[in-house]
Amino acid sequence: MSESTAASQRLAFFQNQLQNAPCAAEEPKIKTTMESMTEERQKATFDVRELTYFLDGGEKFTKIREKFMMELERDPTFRMYDMYDVTKDQIRERTMEKFRTIVHYVSAEPVPIFTMRMQTISLIDPGFWTRFGVHYGLFFGALRGSATSAQFSHWVSKGALALNGMVGCFAMTELGHGSNVAGLETTATFDEASDQFIIHTPTITATKWWIGGAAHTATHTVVFAQLIVRGKRYGTKSFVVQLRDTHTYKLMPGVNIGDIGKKMGRDGIDNGWIQFTNVRIPRTNMLMKHTKVSRAGEVKEPPMAQLTYGALIQGRVAMVVDSGNIAKKAVTIAGRYAAVRRQFSSNPHDAQETKLIDYAIHQYRLMPLLAQAYAFHFTGVETNKLYDDLMDKLESTQPDDETMGEVIDTLKETHATSAGLKAFCTWSTLSAIEACRQTLGGHGYSAYTGLATTYNDFAVHCTWEGDNTILTLQSGRYLVSCYREALAGKSQPEGVSYLNHLDTLLNLGCGVKTNEEILNFDVIQEAWGVVTANVVKKAGDDFEVSLKAGMSPEAAYEECSQARLAAAKIHSYGYIFRRFAQAVKSAPEKLQPVLTKLCLLYGLYSIEQNAGFFLQYRYFTPSQMDYVRGQVNVFCREVRQEYIPLIDAFNYSDYMINSPLGVYDGNIYEKYFDQVKRQNPVGGEHPYLPLIQSLLRRNIEDDEPLEDDDEDDE
């Protein structure tokens, strides 16, 4: 017998032993976490890949996203596994390193493709997304929106587009002033003698605050300041100011900048504060597309308030899209963990503990969030389309075109819709992230499992680009005005089309005869229509009462703010359900059954969460509401069957998920343990041995007082 034959026989023997070992001992078969995951995948009744294509808008786009994921994963500056342990200073520097890679793509890729790349990056490294966005979205966006074409060319030639020779930031908010841009204190006073503006920070509260990129990155900024010419104030305008020497990075004279320091999240972005002390800039640094100041100090204001909504809408739409994407990440982590984590046993005959996901309450915690992630995804897609259509219209319509009125109406609608949706989707997603984090039990508190950081990074979405409460009130204000127009007989656009049927909806009452009728898109849509019409009517009527009592419109709006807030929230629920239902109807036939279940779950769960309104306005009877509650549980169970395939369809790579508990193969414990050990190697010296020794080995007798000696001195 040759040596190699003997070796292979020994090998075969051991393999045999290993394979037979469990059977020989007749121990019950315990499934590994990977096996537990595999069995979930076998439950799919649809083709996961087909659903991915549908979500991405076609196979072509799926391929592009996969290309992005691979490129980022292999880029060493984009390594993410150690991000939870780096300090603020390290993360800042690393974020800067990434600029070079991305600058390469921004010049090579068409805008829609580059936008998709940035959407992918936002999921991986939201801090970088912001820091890069500050230059391109805010600084460059301000040039595009407010500079004359000569000014625009000038700054492009200086390197504003190529990000070569200059980096910009956007100095709007101040320490004492956020949402109210008209109330900013920084001044830009025209000095006729020198043909310059003097940019000045008059008080501590006028200090520019939260300025992304200011602390270490930007050489230039667009400053929002009060234009003052010959002693007269003309309101807030924007000015380009150089902050630093573009070679040495030393501050320019009169410019004082500091670091805002540690934040809740997104530490990759170097937010700073800026004070200007009589900083002089050429007159032509004022962005003069709208208001102009001549050499002689003549101020020419635009004939009508400029249409600057466009830029605002873009940011908000991006956040609706980001909400859907981040929500998908959160449910992926929580969902995969729930498929393989076992706890207690609901069946005493089972040798193994029960999967979390097989508990009714866990289904109730997760399945509606999965449905919501789908709902937000489709809403994001539709809102993007609305925005693109609007931009096309704006670009192709001249101020004196007949259709301009219609375009303005669309603009108003899109503005209000995106404001309401931005607030609604970011709030809901923030809660969803926290809810998902909590489903991880104790492990949700580890930085490495990802959702704590996701929460901290995401939270700022509720405040920036319009505080959510203020945006919701704006949306409510729009609804009140639409309601009043509808009462006056003016037909309302698609987003608020329910207002065109007020008479019917307000008098519909209990619209359903049998319980089973409820499980229907049209019925749920009608239910939301009735409730929304009523809640909007409530706000509109409150407003009317205040007006009749002699209040100014502003005061009347203030008086009905709680009603406006409620109206806007309920309106968003109905709007999102319609978008979801519409997307399901447009889906490939084979995908419809599973998507229909998801959509019904979303609709029923949302109704349950707002039961008060449906009962208040008597669309449902109490017993129908009981049925709805019951059906939420039924649909949770239904969706649970295929929830892993539904998660897989999001097609997020393990690199993007960046959580050992959300890995595709289900091997959660090994990967989690590996991650913890890699980031916190065992062994080594005790970090504060003398300190702990001196505590543990302290001489208690030292603490004892001198014994009191009652005897007199002798």
Query: Which residue numbers are catalytic?
Result: 465
- In this structure, what token pair is assigned to residue 597? 């279940």
Sign of CA dihedral 22, 23, 25, 26: positive
Please list every residue from 289 through 328 that binds a second copy, using CB under 8 A: none
Write down the residue that tokens 């998709």 correspond to. 116
Question: Which of 191, 467, 485, 654 is close enough to bind a second copy by CB under 8 A?
Answer: 467
Question: Which of 364, 485, 511, 544 is close enough to bind a second copy by CB under 8 A?
Answer: 364
Q: Considering the complex, what minimum distance in angstroms separates the CB of residue 191 from a second copy?
A: 23
175 near a second copy (CB under 8 A): yes
By rule CB under 8 A, what string of x and - marks binding of each residue 144-163 to a second copy?
Answer: ---------------x--xx
372-392 per-residue burial string, b: 16 or more CB within 10 A, e: under 16? bbbbbbbbbbbbbebbeebee
How many Cβ atoms are within 10 Å of 293's Cβ, its own excluded?
21
By rule CB under 8 A, what string of x and - marks binding of each residue 184-213 to a second copy?
Answer: --------------------xx-x-xx---
Give the Cα separation of 60 and 558 in Å (integer).
49
Identify which of residues 51 and 167 has a Cβ nearer to a second copy in the complex: 167
Closest CA to 476 of 547, 410, 532: 532
Residue 178, phi then psi, degrees to nearest 5 = -120, -85
Question: Which of 228, 407, 512, 565 is close enough to bind a second copy by CB under 8 A?
Answer: 565
Identify which of residues 84 and 234 has a Cβ nearer to a second copy in the complex: 84
179 near a second copy (CB under 8 A): yes
21 near a second copy (CB under 8 A): no
Identify which of residues 288 and 663 has a Cβ nearer to a second copy in the complex: 663
Is 212 annotated for ligand binding? yes
Amino acid type, 513: K
DSSP-derived 3-state class of residue 245 = coil
Q: For residue 20, what are the CA distances in angstroms to 7, 26, 33, 545?
A: 20, 10, 21, 82
Q: Mark the segment that binds a second copy (CB under 8 A) among 114-122, 249-257, 310-318, 658-666.
A: 249-257
Q: Considering the complex, what minimum distance in angstroms separates the CB of residue 528 from a second copy?
A: 16
Question: Which of 81, 114, 359, 664 is close enough to bind a second copy by CB under 8 A?
Answer: 359
Is 173 annotated for ligand binding? yes
Question: Which of 282, 297, 553, 612 is close enough to bind a second copy by CB under 8 A?
Answer: 612
617 near a second copy (CB under 8 A): yes
35 near a second copy (CB under 8 A): no
Write down the residue that tokens 């305008």 correspond to. 237
Identify which of residues 46 and 136 has a Cβ nearer to a second copy in the complex: 136
Write down the residue that tokens 């994001």 correspond to. 380
633 near a second copy (CB under 8 A): yes
Report whether 602 contacts 374 (CB < 8 A): yes
Please list every residue from 672 through 701 that binds a second copy, using CB under 8 A: 672-673, 676-677, 679-682, 686-689, 691-693, 695-698, 700
259 near a second copy (CB under 8 A): yes
How many residues bind a second copy, per CB under 8 A? 128
Write down the residue that tokens 């573009």 correspond to. 246
Q: What is the DSSP string of 308-359?
A: -HHHHHHHHHHHHHHHHHHHHHHHHHHHHHHHH-B-S-SSTT-SSPPBGGGS
Identify which of residues 62 and 456 has a Cβ nearer to a second copy in the complex: 456
- In this structure, what token pair is assigned to residue 480? 């009140």
300-310 per-residue burial string, b: 16 or more CB within 10 A, e: under 16? eeeeeeeeebb
Identify which of residues 590 and 618 has a Cβ nearer to a second copy in the complex: 618
Please list every residue from 62 through 91 that binds a second copy, using CB under 8 A: 84-85, 87-89
Write down the residue that tokens 């709006």 correspond to. 557
165 near a second copy (CB under 8 A): yes
Q: Mark the segment that binds a second copy (CB under 8 A) among 330-338, 385-393, 466-474, 646-654.
A: 466-474
Who contacts 476 (Cβ-Cβ below 8 Å, separation ≥6)?
420, 539, 561, 563, 564, 565, 566, 567, 568
Question: Which of 34, 404, 408, 447 is close enough to bind a second copy by CB under 8 A?
Answer: 447
254 near a second copy (CB under 8 A): no
Give the Cα separation of 502 and 295 in Å (integer).
56
Q: Considering the complex, what minimum distance in angstroms separates the CB of residue 122 from a second copy?
A: 17
Question: Which of 6, 351, 361, 510 is close enough to bind a second copy by CB under 8 A?
Answer: 361
How many Cβ atoms are within 10 Å of 663's Cβ, its own excluded?
23
Report whether 198 contacts 191 (CB < 8 A): yes
Write down the residue that tokens 């309450």 correspond to. 361
Identify which of residues 395 and 701 has a Cβ nearer to a second copy in the complex: 701
Angle made by CA atoms 45, 48, 54, in degrees to the nearest 5: 115
Identify which of residues 6 and 692 has a Cβ nearer to a second copy in the complex: 692
426 near a second copy (CB under 8 A): no
112 near a second copy (CB under 8 A): no
264 near a second copy (CB under 8 A): yes
Closest CA to 339 of 651, 657, 38: 38
Binding site, annotated residues: 173, 212
- Binding-site members for FAD are 173, 212
